[in-house]
Structure 1
């Protein structure tokens, strides 16, 4: 069966359709982050052995790991708050508690936090004191908009943090969904402690669509598309209007329509289709720089788009410098010390 048809059959099973479960199906579900969901689906519950046992074991592992991850998030948020840093929990960790019937059904490889740009140094210091080490990657004032930290706990479980100060890496998103606006509409996430807040459901859907368009336009796993399905299904009429209003004001209607249409392709959902159609109509007569993301063919095209959409020449110069002369920690991680001067 071609990959597209296999994925559509798996997507249908997540929505209750029958599906014969074998190791190939389970492998596909694991690759796409939906094996726990499959285990809870009618098809998963009806699966024959040994497939059923494999799904049950996977779900138990997810439940244990999720509890460990959630406990660590509570600790991290408390430590950040003590430093005066109040991030929003976004993406997987937020969605797991906001729209899934059980957080174990929404796996995540890391925890994404959104902070104010002004809090970067305090956040990094707090995480270092909490036992986290920064991962070496290209960084600077404009190039990426995030940094990564990791620690292993006492039992060896890795905890990865992805700390953002803009909602996506491309610079054209620098002023989209600023954190102060998101905080004004944020909701509590009690399961992650007294300090935990996440975006409203409407804002979370905008963020999820932007994430796909900016970083995974042609490589989205089924889990991320299922996020869109659950978020869109959860919105009431007022939230639908708030979502569309935010998308239009942020000039991201075309890319959000594309993401919702991609999800509809696999889940065949009338609500997704209607929302995507509404956004296409909004985007039809608008000039949206973000729409160019849908036609990028090469990595360098992303840099060229950043340069074209940067508001000042100073920002363009800084961006080029950070691409051409990466930070020393990143270069040390890629080259031996003796060769570091030649690496630049």
Structure 2
């Protein structure tokens, strides 16, 4: 393997691993390969410090979730935190910047109050309602060390699939055995969510992180026969066959794994909703805006969508440019608007 790495820069490898969320996984692999430890010294040192930091933050996650349960809040944990406990050998191997949970829309105020009693606040300063279906709560342990929660009101911020799986479905099927009193998204639903989440980011031109594809691999490897059958039925019922095939084939192009191939084969003859085909494409900024605008049915919804994108509250502007005197605000809005136009045109 020495020859495989001699033409690579170790700093570049470290930066790519961090960007794609696989630094912890790669560091674990290196532990079993003594010959590569010198080349990956920067990465192993980075991950050593990250593990210490993450252990500190992880100690806050579980007690917070328990307190939410004790407050009578119904929720299901999604994405990285759930997967770190259900499909990864150890939780620290799954990089995560926050904990994602989904709640009933009617419980939003109760959830905000529960987080506030635990010392959390909204880092954004306001809660968008038209452009995204989620909000954040944060507690700062020390400068630069934050405990972050993303609270989702629907499965996705993508209008086309936001209601394709309901909260009640997720709660009914949740894994309540892995972590006591903390419902984690079950593997069949986790695989659907991972597929939709990855394709949404790809559709808007974001980097497809390797860790997202690795999640797909581990879910396919660890699902038992009943879970695989449930996944197949859900894909057929929701018309997600084309999306699932595309995402799983993309993962298989990286990992070439029998479990991915078998999962793909089981999707034969399952139904597909052609209205969701746009998610396997990469759209321009204009195409994204045009589709998202069209998906808002009422005039009020369309106006709120434009308003939150172009003219959000001052808190959002200050978050981007820093706190300024009030008379600077109009100029900051103009700067934000022009910057957005330039960014969209460049894309």
Please classify the TM superposition score into its range, dividing by the shorter chain length: 0.7 to 0.9
Q: Does 1:292 align with 2:278?
A: yes
Moved more, 151-160 or 165-174: 151-160
Does the Cα contact within 8 Å between 2:31 and 2:37 map onto a contact in 1? no
**Alignment equivalent of 2:327, drawn from 330, 338, 342:** 338
Give the alignment of 1:123-138 within 5 angstroms.
123-136=111-124
Does the Cα contact within 8 Å between 1:252 and 1:288 map onto a contact in 2? no
Which residue is 1:323 aligned to? 309
SS of residue in 2 equivalent to 1:172: coil
Q: Does 1:87 align with 2:72?
A: no
What RMSD, in angstroms, separates the aligned Cα atoms of the two structures? 3.0
Q: How many residues align?
A: 324
Which residue is 2:184 aligned to? 198
Q: CA deviation at 1:223?
A: 1.1
Which residue is 1:237 aligned to? 225
Which residue is 1:305 aligned to? 291
Which residue is 1:3 aligned to? none
Which ranges in structure 2 are unaligned for 5 or more consecutive residues? 335-347
Does the Cα contact within 8 Å between 1:59 and 1:104 map onto a contact in 2? no
SS of residue in 1 equivalent to 2:130: coil
Q: Tell me how far apart the structure 1 counterparts of residues 266 and 294 of structure 2 sit (CA, whole Å).
A: 28
When residues 42 and 132 of structure 1 are mapped into structure 2, their CA distance, relative to the original with a 3 A threshold, is: closer
TM-score (norm 1): 0.81
Q: Tell me how far apart the structure 2 counterparts of residues 131 and 138 of structure 1 sit (CA, whole Å).
A: 17
Moved more, 171-180 or 243-252: 243-252
When residues 247 and 340 of structure 1 are mapped into structure 2, their CA distance, relative to the original with a 3 A threshold, is: farther
Does the Cα contact within 8 Å between 1:44 and 1:52 map onto a contact in 2? no
Q: CA deviation at 1:26?
A: 3.9
Does the Cα contact within 8 Å between 1:62 and 1:104 map onto a contact in 2? no
Which residue is 2:149 aligned to? 161
Q: Deviations over 1:94-148 (max 9, x none)?
A: 1111111111111111211111111212222222332223132784333200112
Moved more, 295-304 or 156-165: 295-304
SS of residue in 2 equivalent to 1:187: coil
**Alignment equivalent of 1:76, drawn from 64, 70, 90:** 64
Q: Tell me how far apart the structure 2 counterparts of residues 136 and 155 of structure 1 sit (CA, whole Å).
A: 17
Q: Does 1:37 align with 2:49?
A: no
**Alignment equivalent of 1:174, drawn from 162, 180, 184:** 162
Does the Cα contact within 8 Å between 1:114 and 1:166 map onto a contact in 2? yes
Q: Tell me how far apart the structure 2 counterparts of residues 29 and 341 of structure 1 sit (CA, whole Å).
A: 40
When residues 325 and 206 of structure 1 are mapped into structure 2, their CA distance, relative to the original with a 3 A threshold, is: same
Q: Deviations over 1:55-108 (max 9, x none)?
A: 543443343333223221123213323433232111111111111111111111
Q: CA deviation at 1:274?
A: 3.9
Q: Tell me how far apart the structure 2 counterparts of residues 287 and 231 of structure 1 sit (CA, whole Å).
A: 23
**Alignment equivalent of 2:195, drawn from 205, 209, 212:** 209
When residues 253 and 314 of structure 1 are mapped into structure 2, their CA distance, relative to the original with a 3 A threshold, is: farther
Does the Cα contact within 8 Å between 2:61 and 2:147 map onto a contact in 1? no
TM-score (norm 2): 0.81
Q: Tell me how far apart the structure 2 counterparts of residues 334 and 35 of structure 1 sit (CA, whole Å).
A: 28
**Alignment equivalent of 1:108, drawn from 89, 93, 96:** 96
When residues 145 and 46 of structure 1 are mapped into structure 2, their CA distance, relative to the original with a 3 A threshold, is: same
Moved more, 30-39 or 110-119: 30-39
Which residue is 1:10 aligned to? none
Does the Cα contact within 8 Å between 2:69 and 2:182 map onto a contact in 1? no
Does the Cα contact within 8 Å between 1:139 and 1:326 map onto a contact in 2? no
When residues 328 and 157 of structure 1 are mapped into structure 2, their CA distance, relative to the original with a 3 A threshold, is: closer
Q: Tell me how far apart the structure 1 counterparts of residues 4 and 147 of structure 2 sit (CA, whole Å).
A: 34
